[in-house]
């Protein structure tokens, strides 16, 4: 057995490097019991072109990455080297987790405080088209009084109605609907929202829709933000 001159560990005679600190030695040369034999150290400053090197945290000498002691100052370095290797990676992972958590919190906060699309659509008023028509389209009351009621009671409210298609313009997303069948003219003119596919609809088809009351004039209700409802 030989003795490594840098870490003092016993090294088998046929070893070319110390198993503990990584110092390279010439086979057959020993420093433990040969009486004058020397062990040649080969990995200082990369003289043998060996494996990767790291800097000693105590004397800044270049030493093998797996060495347990510095070849120059002799101080133990393995624990420091390991910490230097894993600490940046650990902090990087921690940073990514922290950033991901913050992004999730911000997204959740924004979603929770965003106003619902088309506020009021999910709570439409229950009045039917013909009931509303008696108030505004077929009433003989003063126009000013009907306008006052409209502004305070119905304008801007969403309805969920059913009607028969009287005329349709898919490119403009406008549809005329009658609530009393094909025998009457359109009593509701609806402007549908972008993205609504009206191409498969045609005159005489009965549909259910949701829309917002905007105005009444010329014997018709005018509505906006129309969307089709499933049967």
**Which is the CATH superfamily of the domain at 129-229?**
Nucleic acid-binding proteins (2.40.50.140)
pLDDT tens, position by position, 63-86: 877 777 777 787 887 654 444 555
Q: What is the DSSP string of the chain?
A: -EE-TTT--EE-TT-SB-TTT--B--TT--SSSSSS-------GGGTT--S-EEE-TTT--EEETT-SB-TTT--B-HHHHHHHHHHHHHHHHHHHHHHHHHHHHHHHHHHHHSPPSSTTTTS-B---HHHHHHHHTS--S-HHHHHHHIIIIITT-EEEEEEEEEEEETTTTEEEEESS-TTS--SEEEEEPTT---TT--TT-EEEEEEEEEEEETTEEEEEEEEEE--
Residue 112: predicted pLDDT: 59
pLDDT tens, position by position, 92-133: 888 888 888 888 888 776 665 555 589 999 999 999 999 999
Backbone angles phi, psi at 113, to 5 degrees: -105, 0
Nearest Cα neighbor of 158 from 192, 194, 125 is: 125
| pLDDT band, very low/low/confident/very high, at 5 (cuts 50, 70, 90) | low
Domain with CATH 2.40.50.140 in the chain: 129-229
Joined together, the tokens standing for residue 215 give 């105005």
Nearest Cα neighbor of 188 from 153, 142, 140, 136 is: 136
Asked if pLDDT for residue 180 goes beyond 90, the answer is no
Asked if pLDDT for residue 42 goes beyond 60, the answer is no
Percentage above 90 pLDDT, the chain = 39
Joined together, the tokens standing for residue 67 give 């060495």
Q: What is the pTM of this model?
A: 0.52
């Amino acid at each position: 057995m030989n003795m490594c001159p840098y870490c003092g560990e016993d090294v088998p005679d046929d070893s070319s490097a110390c198993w503990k600190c990584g110092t390279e030695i010439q086979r057959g040369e020993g420093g433990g019991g040969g009486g004058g034999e020397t062990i040649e150290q080969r990995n200082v400053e990369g003289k043998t072109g060996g494996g990767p090197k790291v800097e000693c945290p105590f004397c800044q000498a270049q030493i093998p990455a797996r060495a347990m002691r510095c070849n120059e100052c002799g101080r133990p370095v393995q624990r420091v080297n390991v910490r230097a290797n894993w600490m940046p990676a650990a902090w990087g992972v921690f940073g990514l987790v922290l950033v991901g958590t913050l992004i999730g919190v911000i997204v959740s906060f924004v979603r929770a405080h965003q106003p619902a699309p088309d506020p009021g659509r999910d709570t439409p008023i229950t009045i039917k088209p013909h009931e509303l028509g008696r108030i505004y389209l077929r009433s003989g009351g003063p126009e000013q009084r009907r306008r006052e009621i409209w502004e305070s009671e119905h304008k801007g409210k969403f309805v969920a109605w059913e009607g028969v298609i009287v005329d349709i313009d898919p490119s403009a997303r406008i549809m005329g609907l009658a609530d009393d069948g094909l025998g009457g003219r359109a009593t509701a003119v609806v402007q549908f929202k972008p993205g609504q596919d009206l191409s498969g609809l045609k005159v005489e088809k009965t549909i259910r829709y949701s829309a917002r009351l905007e105005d009444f004039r010329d014997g018709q209700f005018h509505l906006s933000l129309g969307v089709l409802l499933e049967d």
